Amino acid sequence: MSASKVISFPCMGDVSRLIASSLAELGWQIKETRNTSASLAKGNRYLDELICLPARLTLGNLIEAAETGATDVVQFDSCGLCRMKAYWVLQKEVLRKLGFKTQVHPLRLGIRTPGDLKRIDPSLPLWQAWYGFIRAVRQVMATPWQPVQDNSGRLNIGIIGEIYTILEPFANNRLFERLGKMGCFIHNSMPIKYFVGYRLYHSKREDMLPDKLVEAEHVGHLIFPKNIGGHGNDSIAHLVYYALAGYDGVIHVMPFPCMPEATVKPVLLELASRYKIPLMSLTFDGQAGETGYITRLEAFVDMLQRRKIVG
């Protein structure tokens, strides 16, 4: 394997540690990234504001990785209807125009992953790429599921929406941390274990009530039988699930201007009204606006608490 390669990848919350350890086990030198206002500013400078926030944040990560000596960077390729499948193409062109020699490699999830890893470093034996991939998947699947919900009297709030914005604290303005400090139980509808397990094995999840989830997915399919792209279909089904499971409220998280989540937003509002579950939608565009954001969260939590008391 090439000892001169320095590999980096975009930051994505706690998932970054798992990615870093998995890539390091292949014998590569790893350079981790993190999201800051400076990295977002770099991404904003070279991508139009109508390209979604995750694209701009991850571009900032890759630029900073290239600036600090990364020879190769990895970007996830969703291969689906979401614009994420084009991130690496745009980012590769930006790095080239900025004069960096850093190579950008798409990484697809599934049977093609080992081949994509080998293309990063042709000297990597294919068996080792397969071993590293399988080991990483097993690590993900070994992580514990979240509790189904909290029965201690705390507010139960479900989080639905686009996966990157849910998992990356910088992108969602530390939403989970803030709600936790307000005494809420927060259930993440898009944990990485569900994403990987469902994509590879169509595995059943243990952090949701199975009968309620099946019913919710059936309702979601009747309302929107076509694949919207991204996690739009999931958002519909998960909103219905949280209503059926007796959650106190739901927060819909999306990056500006995410097309799949924007498409389902009117559907979510109609369903929230039908199932009588409070819904708050948060759209993140990288702007600070912290005071108004915190005020909205506090008002939503206060409303849920009053509603719970009244019954």
User: pLDDT averaged over consecutive 10-residue blocks of the chain (311 residues)?
Assistant: 79 90 91 93 89 92 95 87 84 95 93 93 93 92 94 96 95 96 96 88 89 96 88 95 98 91 94 97 82 92 93 70
CATH assignment at residue 193: 3.40.50.11900
Residue-level pLDDT at 155: 97
For residue 79, is it within any domain?
yes
**Domains held by the chain: number:** 2
Residue-level pLDDT at 303: 96
Token pair listed for 49:
């504001």
Residue-level pLDDT at 63: 97
For residue 150, is it within any domain?
no
Per the CB < 8 A criterion, the answer to whether 7 and 74 are in contact is yes
Residue-level pLDDT at 199: 76
Same domain, residue pair 230 and 134 = no
For residue 1, is it within any domain?
no
Same domain, residue pair 79 and 185 = no
| Domain C-terminal end among 98, 116, 142 | 142
Same domain, residue pair 95 and 163 = no
Per the CB < 8 A criterion, the answer to whether 255 and 54 are in contact is yes
Same domain, residue pair 120 and 261 = no
H/E segment holding residue 249: strand 249-255
Same domain, residue pair 187 and 126 = no
Tell me the whole-structure pTM to 2 decimals: 0.93
Residue-level pLDDT at 283: 93
Same domain, residue pair 96 and 26 = yes
Same domain, residue pair 302 and 166 = yes
CATH assignment at residue 75: 3.40.50
For residue 57, is it within any domain?
yes
Sign of CA dihedral 29, 45, 16, 96: negative
Alpha helices in the chain (DSSP H): 15-24, 37-46, 53-67, 87-97, 113-120, 126-142, 163-167, 175-181, 192-201, 210-223, 232-244, 259-275, 290-310
| Domain C-terminal end among 111, 142, 173 | 142
Same domain, residue pair 162 and 137 = no
Q: Looking up tokens 């080792």, which residue turns up?
A: 128
Full domain range(s) for residue 256: 156-310
For residue 149, is it within any domain?
no
Q: How far is the CA of 173 from the CAs of 59, 129, 284, in angstroms?
A: 19, 35, 8
For residue 123, is it within any domain?
yes
Per the CB < 8 A criterion, the answer to whether 177 and 204 are in contact is no
Same domain, residue pair 164 and 209 = yes
Contacts of 222 (CB under 8 A, 6+ apart): none
| Domain C-terminal end among 142, 168, 202 | 142
Distance between CA atoms of residues 55 and 64, nearest Å: 14
63-106 pLDDT tens trace: 999 999 999 999 998 777 788 888 889 999 999 999 999 999 99
Same domain, residue pair 160 and 302 = yes
Residue-level pLDDT at 2: 54
Residue-level pLDDT at 271: 96
Among 279, 224, 291, CA closest to 254: 279
Same domain, residue pair 226 and 136 = no
Same domain, residue pair 31 and 164 = no
